[in-house]
A and B are shown apart, each in its own frame.
Chain A
Amino acid sequence: MKHVIIGAGPAGVVAAETLRKLEPESDITLIGDEPEPPYSRMAIPYYLENKIDAAGTHLRKSADYFEQNNIEVLQSRIDAINTDKKILTPDTGEQINFDKLLIASGSSPVKPPIEGMDLPGVHNCWTLADANQIIDRAKPDAKVVLMGAGFIGCIILESLVSRGVKLTVAEMENRMVPRMMNEQSGTLLKQWCENKGVTVLTSARVSGIEKGSQHPLSVVMSVGGALPADLVICATGVRANIKLCEESDIETKQGILVNEFLQTTHPDIFAAGDVAQGRDFSTGQYSVQAIQPTAVEHARIAATNMTERREHLHRGSINMNVLDTLGLISSSFGDWEGLKGDDSCELGDNDRFRYLNLQFQDDILIGANTLGLTQHIGVLRGLIQSKTRLGKWKNKLANDPTLIMEAYLATVQGQA
């Protein structure tokens, strides 16, 4: 059996390892187009902070790891897939044929359609190459404008501040992390950042970037005025890398369409990670989540289903995130916005920047938002995923949402 994987990010690497464990004899080829050894994008913020060197971002630490596991790693780009003949033509080297293919090509940042995004000094923060560009320009006291206070924007915010830059954040929506946190917690997060000396502009759209006079760049705001900048970082969203499927019979929408086996519309081709439009545990709908835990979950299931013996069902991944913004930790799980007409409870302490919101369907926890909480938060996933009936604990939680751990022990494990 010959397995080929396109994309050497976390999804590709975990899939390769899973295949190796299940099929010691198969050929496994992992193809990635970036020059570095397989690395984790998630580690980039810590690289920017000088907490780790480039090797600290590598997904597997020993230099001969892939060789040891008999996984062939190729650096090249695949622009099209011949699904009839099951052949890939890399941009370098010879054609590669496959029995089973996994597409784990990830996602890429989108740039808003405004003038000036190609000027020198305007960067994404997506690859190690981007990170090196940012390190060059994000010197102490440099003026930096961060476009987008979404999930990725908020994660790199801290790294930029630690580099000593003068940071302004511009977010189109009315609060920070609008797709992860509700209005109350997103607003508290903004206040926290402002207290720490970061300028946060919300409901603020950048209408274009121009060459500046005193500083190389000038970021023009739609409400009027312009911000001088030495560096502009764009973190305004991501899009699945589906271009390589364009001329094939592999169907795509937001991402590559997959079924509950992570199989595409071609039976021998699977997709996993940021590129896959997989099942969401909460909604039952198929969507692109673009988060690390989902990438790894997809990869293991897809790889298992690529082998001859097994069929493993993907019941859906929980959309979840944890963020550390200048020391304030926030998290979101599942259906944090809740369902119309269903119950929720919340507890907030604005002065101490603490907030907790739980969403229920009947007496089952379906989603949560937290701010300033670091202990035992995983249990929120446990409660959501196990769909445990909370019974009388639902009322107890409504009175005091911090009792999540007690509720879990009492209901899931029957300990009280």
Chain B
Amino acid sequence: MQRSLQIDPGKCTGCLQCEMACSYENEGVFNPARSRIKVFTFHQEGRFVPYTCTQCDEAWCMQACPVDAIVLNAATGSKDILEDVCVGCKVCTIACPFGTVNYNSDTGKVIKCDLCGGDPKCAEACPTQAITYINADETGFDRMRAWAGKSDNQPRVQ
């Protein structure tokens, strides 16, 4: 059974442990600016919303890539960037309607969540279980993805 990240913003306190853990795991530095998961703050509502790639079925990024640098990880279901193949053209960053593929000007490549290969550090680091890594069919992602269907141009043939 494949698992995915379940995010419950109601439990998030905005402590940014997830961003720290992510940047450390993937970039070797404790630097929220380099994190693949981002906590958005709604000051007026006093609400924090952690947000990252849902590894969606449409895989808009993967389809748009001109050099086949984004591949499906069969074990985890994540869509992974092959750093040595990516040319840094950024087409995937505009193709992803969720805004979860970002350009890193230091490396000239793009970065996105790869579920840390099946052991996501953000979920491990979250002290309140706002982020958990659970069986895919239990997650609320179907709801999060549902909107895409509204103007979904893509036949699902994967």
Contact = CB atoms under 8 A, between A and B. Distances in A.
A408 B147 CA distance: 12
Interface stretch (A188-196, A335-343, A369-377): A369-377
Nearest to A403: B40
A316 B144 CA distance: 23
B103 A42 contact: no
A406 interface: yes
B94 A46 contact: no
Interface centre among B66, B88, B96, B144, by most chain A C-beta atoms within 10 angstroms, is B66
Nearest to B101: A378
Given A46-B87, A292-B91, A374-B103, A56 B151 contact: no
Contacts of A320: 94
A387 interface: yes
B98 interface: yes
A57 interface: yes
| Those 8 A-B pairs whose CB atoms lie nearest each other, nearest first | A379-B99, A382-B97, A376-B99, A40-B66, A378-B96, A46-B87, A304-B155, A42-B66
A109 interface: no
B47 A416 contact: yes
Interface string A295-331: 0110011001000001010111100111010010101
A89 to B, nearest CB: 31
A300 B40 contact: no
A385 interface: yes
Interface in B98-156: 98-103, 105, 108, 144, 147-148, 150-151, 153-155
A387 B103 contact: no
B97 A321 contact: no
7 contacts: A57-B67, A301-B153, A312-B155, A329-B103, A376-B99, A380-B99, A381-B96
B86 to A, nearest CB: 10
Contact of B99 (A42, A56, A316, A382): A382
Contact of A61 (B42, B85, B94): B85
B66 A56 contact: no
Given A410-B42, A413-B144, A327 B68 contact: no
B90 A327 contact: no
The residue among B85, B90, B105, B158 with the most chain A CB atoms within 10 A of its own CB is B90
Contacts of A92: none
A22 interface: yes
Interface string B35-68: 0001010100101010100000000000110111
Given A42-B66, A61-B85, A18 B157 contact: yes
Given A18-B157, A293-B64, A379 B97 contact: yes
A255 interface: no
Contacts of A16: none
A74 interface: no
A374 B93 contact: yes
Contact of B102 (A59, A374, A408): A374
Interface residues of B, number: 42
Contacts of A381: 94-97
Specify which of A56, A331, A380, A388 lies most central, judged by the most chain B CB atoms within 10 Å of its CB. A56
A354 interface: no
B72 interface: no
Nearest to B33: A375
B14 interface: no
A22 B99 contact: no
A415 interface: yes
A333 interface: yes
A365 to B, nearest CB: 12
A314 to B, nearest CB: 6
B15 interface: no
A14 interface: yes
Find the residue from B38, B101, B151 having the highest chain A CB count within 10 A.
B151
A405 interface: yes
A386 B93 contact: no
B63 A377 contact: no
A349 B14 CA distance: 29
B150 to A, nearest CB: 5
A404 B40 CA distance: 11
Contacts of A300: 63, 154-155, 157
